[in-house]
């Protein structure tokens, strides 16, 4: 996967931990930035770096609409969505070729 497609992604600090939803046109580059702390804000402050879900889109307009929809969902709905495809909250970034996150 080259990652150069509009994408909505969900990060978590740990299973049932802090959850972050974002949108990007380059998933791998964005994950790299989150993990290296080059993006200030929530994900850096709370170490929200595990990719637990992502959805690819054909255009950015639809990706942004989905991101807004998910951000408005209740927390439990988000958890249900995550667990519908990733019940063990596995870091999917590893399957995209990124190294595992080192536990602290």
CA dihedral 75, 35, 96, 83 (to 10 degrees): -20
99 burial (CB, 10 Å; 0-12 / 13-18 / 19+) is exposed
**Can you give the pLDDT at residue 103?**
61
Q: Is the pTM of this model over 0.85?
A: yes
Q: How far is CA 26 from CA 31, 57, 70, 91, in A?
A: 9, 12, 19, 18
Model confidence at 4, pLDDT cuts 50, 70, 90, reads: confident
Residue 55 has pLDDT above 90, yes or no: yes
What does the pLDDT look like over 7-37, one tens digit per residue? 999 999 999 999 999 999 999 999 999 999 8
**Can you give the pLDDT at residue 104?**
53
């Amino acid at each position: 996967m080259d990652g150069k497609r509009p994408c909505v992604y969900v990060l978590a600090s740990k299973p049932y931990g802090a959850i972050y939803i974002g949108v990007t046109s380059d998933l791998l580059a964005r994950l790299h930035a989150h993990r290296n702390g080059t993006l200030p804000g929530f994900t850096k402050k709370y170490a929200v770096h595990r990719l637990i879900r992502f959805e690819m889109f054909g255009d950015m307009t639809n990706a942004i609409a989905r991101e807004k929809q998910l951000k408005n969902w209740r927390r439990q709905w988000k958890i249900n969505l995550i667990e519908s495809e990733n019940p063990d909250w596995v870091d999917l970034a590893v399957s995209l070729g990124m190294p595992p996150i080192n536990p602290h």
